[in-house]
Chain A
Amino acid sequence: MSAQSTTGQTTTGRTTAGQPGDPTLVGTTAARTERRGRRIPWRFIGGRVAFYAFTLWAAITINFFLPRLMKGDAVSSYMARSQGQLTPDAEKALRLMFGLDSSVPLWQQYLDYWNMLLHGNLGVSISTGMAPVGDAIASALPWTLGLVGFATVVSFLIGTGVGAVIGWRRGGRLDVLVPVTTFLGTVPYFWLGLIFIAVFSTTLGWFPAGHAYELGVEPGWNGEFLGQVVSHAALPVLTIVVVSLGGWVLGMRNMMLTVLDEDYITVAQAKGMPDRRVLWRYAARNAVLPQIQSFALALGFIVSGTIVMEMVFSYPGIGLLLLNATSAKDYALMQGIFLILVLAVLVANILADIAYAILDPRTRQTEA
């Protein structure tokens, strides 16, 4: 009994004291931190990679089980719509094609589904004339990515900047902006989009009301087409920016108020640093960290808002495609879009992680 406890003590004692061979413990403190800073944070990266892999697996599994848990399936509804024009043989063929053959056990279907996905095969879409789902998504994705990506970055930059300034000039006249942006943030995307169309497009005629470009224009890298794209994207971008601005402003302002009370801000000011440097390099840099973390949360919201906004503006992106697939009960297309959306959100999360790791050295050194 006692022998056991002593061995236990010696082992723990050795690990806490640090292995004598550990290179990070040799040299001066400065040299040690230098070396440690360059060390690649494998544990942090590994944890994040495991999380993303798990999320992807969960999304794919949800995607697999959702249509199979429901009463009707894609083939039955397709058969119902064709009103007896298709033979039972055709139904069987369709079932095989969709991997919905009930004679195959569920786990086999699941493996087949993975096999299809790994070969980049998302199935065929009924509503777009049996075209591969991948093609339908590929033609819609650039529009959404360009629009949402641009609008989100603009909104984040403006909101964070305004929030930092409001926090810095606390108690000033700019405080009025907080309730204003909050009110705009609670307005539904689709409603504001419709109002914008009513005001700026129908009444004032400044911007076109919908679509990504005029029907007669040939897509290409020429001035006319690009001008069309910009003017057609103006109202959707404005909608996203106006609605999502409030969250960034409020989050940044609240963090600034907390950070500005810290001692290092007082010290920086006491050293006689210019205000501008204290504001942006000392206060804002630290206050922006939670903002980047909340980016992950905001993204799901923005994706959701975009879907409806694309419907309002008839913008030929992923959201409109999803809604059309929904009304046509095109399950393969719906699943493919859901998968792509999850992937896009995951990629954006990875980017946010990288930005966070660059801005905050602590995540690189310790386990987050």
Chain B
Amino acid sequence: MRTPAEESPTLTQPAGVGSPETAFVLAVGPQPPAKATFWSQLKASLAMFGNRKSAAGLVILGVFVLVAIFAPWIAPYDPNAQHLDQTLQPPSFQHLLGTTHIGQDVFSQLVYGTRGVLVVGFLATIMATVVAIVVGVTAGYLRGWRSESLSALSNVFLVIPGLPLMIIVASQFDDPPLPLIAAVLGLTGWAWGARVLRAQTLSLRNRDFIQAARANGEPLHRIILVEMLPNLMAIIASSFVGTMTAAVLGLTTLAFIGVIPVSNLNWGTILFWAQQNNAFPDYWWWYVPAGLCIALLGVALALINFGIDEYVNPRLRSAGERARAMKRKGMDVNAAVTQVRTGTASAGPAESASESTTA
């Protein structure tokens, strides 16, 4: 590792001007603990995404985001262009996923539909997460009736069934605009995150480092933003992902029902038209890809959440690995009696001793 000083031109000049290069090595001495720079902190706060499951989920999500951004370059046709001479074509090289009843290219619709799903999904999720953080952390930090009433509010929203409320609100408008749909999805989706965040904040506020910060006279906004929020990141991320899953499902469902305008192209709209025009069961290329896309996005989000779960609760990760390791040595993880094994070459004595104590 080269320090920045080594690279500076004055010090790399030939000897005689300054001290020899070895002096640097001696001067540095034992490495001090890494200083908390912005990048190291960012790396630490992203550690929950560092396992294979989260990474796989993020990659899938990233592909969808790229498709949404570059939709005009990826889609071979205008999604609404009608090719009346090529209706209900099965997949071919000309139309990768076939065509609809009026000759629209299904693949292009799918690509543009990704944009509709992700824009509304992210918008709704960001709104819901902001509300969840504000309500949840405040309810967890405050005491007394204010905390209780905020918690009751989130519990009420948790119990009220979301989709009927969405249907009723959306149906009051003839042509609900996208931000409104996102707001309705967000309004019905913030409660669970707020509840989990409140519980975690409650347990955090009595920890020593928070008490110390309060005793030091740190202002409230600093305690919440600097001391608490980093410790809530995993839960915030997890509730973000969960809310996004619900928002995507809610959006596609609303579109499929036909409550939101069908001009807003998303995967649900494709299914809406497919069902309206009796695509089931013969024209599979029309309805199977859209459903699979919804499921794939859901799997990606679920994978991210699995990873966060395992990061938060290491038992989930270690239990399976430990059990498999024991099985490889011919032991049963649920055996009540620890087997005394003689003459097995597969494991070292120290390892087997440690395993038998955990059994």
Contacts and interface: CB of A to CB of B under 8 A. Distances in A.
Contacts of B320: 170-171, 175
Contacts of B316: 254, 257-258
B227 interface: no
Contacts of B302: 182, 185-186
Interface string A63-87: 0001100111000000000000000
B294 A188 contact: yes
Interface stretch (A13-21, A51-59, A152-160, A354-362): A51-59
Nearest to A279: B334
Nearest to B173: A70
Contact of B160 (A55, A192, A334): A55
Interface string A152-179: 0000000000000000111110010000
B168 A326 contact: yes
A270 B336 contact: yes
B164 interface: yes
Contact of B319 (A189, A257, A307): A257
B253 A304 contact: yes
A171 B327 contact: yes
Nearest to A67: B172
A110 interface: no
A186 B167 contact: no
Interface in B235-251: 245-246, 249-250
A17 B122 CA distance: 55
A197 interface: yes
A188 B280 contact: no
Interface stretch (A22-30, A128-136, A219-227, A336-344): A336-344
Contacts of A311: 257
A268 to B, nearest CB: 9
Contacts of B275: 194, 312
A145 interface: no
A171 B319 contact: yes
B5 interface: no
Interface in B298-316: 298-299, 301-302, 309, 313, 315-316
Contacts of A199: 281
Contacts of B165: 62, 338
A241 to B, nearest CB: 17
A88 interface: no
A234 interface: no
B142 interface: no
Query: Main secondary structure on chain B at its contact with chain A?
Result: helix
Interface residues of B, number: 59
Contacts of A307: 163-164, 167
A296 B323 contact: no
Given A203-B281, A322-B164, A308 B158 contact: no
A183 B295 contact: yes
Interface string A286-301: 0000000000110111
A275 B324 contact: no
Contacts of B322: 171
A261 B315 contact: yes
Nearest to A319: B164
A179 B162 CA distance: 26
B152 interface: yes
B256 A171 contact: no
Query: Main secondary structure on chain A at its contact with chain B?
Result: helix
Contacts of B259: 326
A329 B155 contact: no
A45 interface: no
Interface string B157-184: 0111111110111011100000000000
A226 B284 CA distance: 34
B206 to A, nearest CB: 18
A149 B313 CA distance: 33
B229 interface: no
B291 interface: yes
Contacts, number: 169
Given A58-B156, A188-B252, A326-B171, A345 B257 contact: no
Contacts of B192: 297
A198 interface: yes
A171 B159 contact: no
A183 B298 CA distance: 8
Nearest to A300: B161
A349 interface: yes
Contacts of A312: 275
B295 A308 contact: no
B88 interface: no
B287 A322 contact: no
A187 B159 contact: no
Contacts of B156: 54-55, 58-59
A174 B40 CA distance: 39
B155 A198 contact: no
Contacts of B159: 55, 296, 300, 342, 345-346, 349
B12 to A, nearest CB: 54
A202 interface: yes
B315 A191 contact: no
Contact of A254 (B245, B284, B287, B309): B309
Contacts of A334: 167-168, 171
B224 interface: no
A337 B164 CA distance: 9
Contacts of B287: 191, 194
B224 to A, nearest CB: 26
B323 A172 contact: yes
B114 to A, nearest CB: 16
B164 A338 contact: yes
A213 interface: no
Interface of A: 51, 54-55, 58-59, 62, 66-67, 70-72, 168-172, 175, 182-183, 185-192, 194-195, 197-199, 202-203, 254, 257-258, 260-261, 269-270, 272-273, 275, 296-297, 299-301, 303-304, 307-308, 311-312, 322-323, 326-327, 329, 334-335, 337-338, 341-342, 345-346, 349
Q: Which 10 A-B pairs have the closest CB atoms?
A: A186-B298, A171-B323, A198-B281, A304-B163, A191-B291, A269-B336, A70-B172, A171-B324, A300-B161, A303-B161
